[in-house]
Amino acid sequence: MELIILGSSAAIPVQERNLPATALKYKNELIIFDCGEDIQRGLINAGLKFNKPLKILISHFHGDHIIGLPGLLFRFGLIDRTAPLFVFGPPNLFLYLFLHRKILGLKAPYPLKIFEIHHNQNKLIEFEGLDSDQALSESSLKNNIIYEDDRYYLKYTLVDHSVLTYGYAFIEKPRKGKFNPDRARELGIPESRIWTKLHEGQIIEFQGKKIDPLKEGIVGPKRQGRKITYSGDTAPCNDLVKLGENSDILIHEATFSQNLTDIAIEKKHSTSIDAAIIAKKMNAKQLILTHISSRYQEDATQLLKEAKEIFPNSILAKDLLRIEIK
């Protein structure tokens, strides 16, 4: 599992930083938080493939976070994409893409689902493809979960910005313990379907004897799943703390340094100190400061310095930064 920063600038791109986009490479798929303007080049430069199962999570409708999305979808149309794409975001996400269908002829000749999160109504509205503007289904949200399969959840929370904005978390489910094949053989259990059950931690009966794989040392204890939280644009927000409790990594916006706290408050953004305090409250293991104002294009070390005084395990995002999550 690897996190790759594709864009780390706020509002306008600068020489070394593109607009916001962060990719999470998880097994055979990609999860992308926000879709800044130059995301296609970001994916190419990061060596990421365009035909992988993909989930895109859009935090809000400010241009710097969403303008790359239609272009990326056009690209998918050109490469004969076959892998499924799910896009999640605030209300009107479908309309935004549907207008590109109507005006520019954007098509989705691959499996596409669009999910609008209607926070006020506690609803998730699902659209399929771009041909019909009728929603496919509506469902009530439970515990803010917008997606779940047997490996992970995606959850959202409302954060505190000048327009409706969501923060997101990727939450991996506990993973199977380590399997010890030698121990299984030692106990006379041949390689077979039973091994699969044992690996899952199931107690089985073998030759009239009950075997608990954990007690017998055939399998190790379940390993805790990993958790990644993304803030979107926001002023310091307690609901984000709740969402991201015990995250392995918090990717938090840090648009300004401390001496511009007034502007941060006025524009509903965070300073790097705000981000560090949130990471500490959240009990995160690591903080990545991103969404850096263009005024720091020559030197953003001040932001990092300030954050580190409060939360030592802070990193300043830069484009194409890669972090392996064990």
Is there binding between residue 116 and Zn ion (CB under 5 A)? no
| Backbone dihedral region for residue 105 (phi beyond 0: left; psi -120 to 50: alpha; all else: beta) | left
Is there binding between residue 268 and Zn ion (CB under 5 A)? no
- Complex with Zn ion: residue 267 or 280, whichever CB lies closer: 267
Is there binding between residue 62 and Zn ion (CB under 5 A)? yes
- Complex with Zn ion: residue 248 or 274, whichever CB lies closer: 274
Choosing from 64, 160, 248, 274, the catalytic residue is 64
Instruction: Please select the residue that binds Zn ion; options are 233, 248, 306, 319, rule is CB under 5 A.
Output: 233
Q: Strand pairing partners for 61?
A: none
- Complex with Zn ion: residue 64 or 172, whichever CB lies closer: 64
Alpha-helical regions (H) of the chain: 39-45, 63-66, 68-78, 93-104, 181-186, 193-199, 238-243, 261-267, 272-282, 301-310
Instruction: Please select the residue that binds Zn ion; options are 34, 38, 64, 172, rule is CB under 5 A.
Output: 64
- Complex with Zn ion: residue 89 or 213, whichever CB lies closer: 89
* Helix (H), strand (E) counts: the chain: 10, 18
As a whole number of angstroms, the distance between CA 316 and CA 103 comes to 39
- How near is the Cβ of 239 to Zn ion at its closest, in Å? 17
| From 54-62, 109-117, 122-130, 185-193, span contacting Zn ion (CB under 5 A) | 54-62
- How near is the Cβ of 215 to Zn ion at its closest, in Å? 52
Q: Is 64 a catalytic residue?
A: yes
Subset of 132-191 contacting Zn ion (CB under 5 A): none
- Complex with Zn ion: residue 180 or 294, whichever CB lies closer: 294
| From 44-52, 225-233, 237-245, 317-325, span contacting Zn ion (CB under 5 A) | 225-233
CA angle 73, 79, 82 (to 5 degrees): 80
Find the Cα–Cα–Cα–Cα dihedral 184, 151, 43, 125, rounded to 10°.
170
| From 151-159, 183-191, 231-239, 305-313, span contacting Zn ion (CB under 5 A) | 231-239
Contacts of 175 (CB under 8 A, 6+ apart): 222, 223, 224, 225
Percent helix, strand, coil in the chain (nearest 5)?
25, 30, 45
| Residues recognised as catalytic | 64
Binding stretches for Zn ion (CB under 5 A):
62, 64, 233
